Amino acid sequence: MNITVHGVTFSYRSIPSLTGVSLTLEESEVLGLIGPNGSGKTTLLKCMNKILEPKQGTILLDEKDIKKMSRLDVAKHIGYVPQTSVSNPTAIPVFEVVLMGRRPHIGWQSSEQDTAKVWDALKMLGIEHLAMRDFYELSGGEQQRVLIARSLAQEAKVLLLDEPTSNLDIRHQLEVMNLTRKLVTEEKIAAAVAIHDLNLAFRYCDKIVMLKAGKVFAAGEARAVLLPEILRKVYGVEVVVNQTNNIPYIVPIAPLQ
């Protein structure tokens, strides 16, 4: 299942957030959305998931215009993993959080088949032992796994992840990105990941779309986009790109004066 974004423009009241953004997300692909704070990454993901409706442009899900699809139909195909909350006054078990992924298919009445799909998703992510734990008592990395499990129980063929590694330590960052890469490869789904860590983007993303002030500044394979001259123009920093074990990594040197 593919998503094609063409000429999408969105504004919050009169303040532009996206201007003429176009991209393609294909099956078995991890697409990295990068750019400075406020460049429009989260807004773009929400437009792709029909949480927000663009002022102009089209978003096609396997050639179907999502503007003409119901939110329920979109939710049957696209899973959205938002930035997690730290706490919530209402306790909710992990099993119930993952079961929410079945809502597009069953409404509010679950069956044995739905329960089985929840357990399958929990086992796939190795978190079945957390099923009865309060979601808001889990660590950030565990919460991310639960939200990804919810999307799998949803039977989504497209995953949209909004900064899934933010506020995680380096071990959990690698675990979440390894998991995303594994799911994309083995389950043949597509994933778009809004991410700040350029080195993780370098390592895990098949393609990169770099946004600046709501516009696509550069797009293509990571090695063609994450270049010192491009990063200088977008982020305002001097960097060098080194390589270890055939894995490129970016070393920031200094902000431009």
Place 107 in a pLDDT band, splitting at 50, 70 and 90: low
Region 5-26: what's the mean pLDDT?
95
Kindly tell me if the per-residue pLDDT of 86 is higher than 60. no
Residue 7 is encoded by which pair of tokens?
Answer: 């000429």
Kindly tell me if the per-residue pLDDT of 58 is higher than 60. yes
Write the DSSP symbol of residue 20.
E
Distance CA 120, CA 124 (A): 6
Domain coordinates in residue numbering, the chain: 1-77+157-227, 88-155
Task: Decide if 240 contacts 253 (C-beta within 8 A).
Answer: yes
Q: Quick one: CATH architecture of 1-77+157-227? A: 3-Layer(aba) Sandwich (3.40)
SS3 239: strand
Place 34 in a pLDDT band, splitting at 50, 70 and 90: very high
CA dihedral 33→39→42→43, nearest 10 degrees, is: -120
Tell me phi and psi for residue 173, to 5 degrees: -60, -50
Distance CA 223, CA 226 (A): 6
Residue 16 is encoded by which pair of tokens?
Answer: 């532009």
Kindly tell me if the per-residue pLDDT of 43 is higher than 90. yes
Return all residues near 199 (Cβ < 8 A) that are at least 6 apart: 249, 250
**Most confident of the following: 53-67, 142-156, 165-179:** 53-67
Distance CA 25, CA 48 (A): 10
Give per-residue pLDDT as tens, 203-248. 999 999 999 999 999 999 999 999 999 999 999 999 999 998 888 8
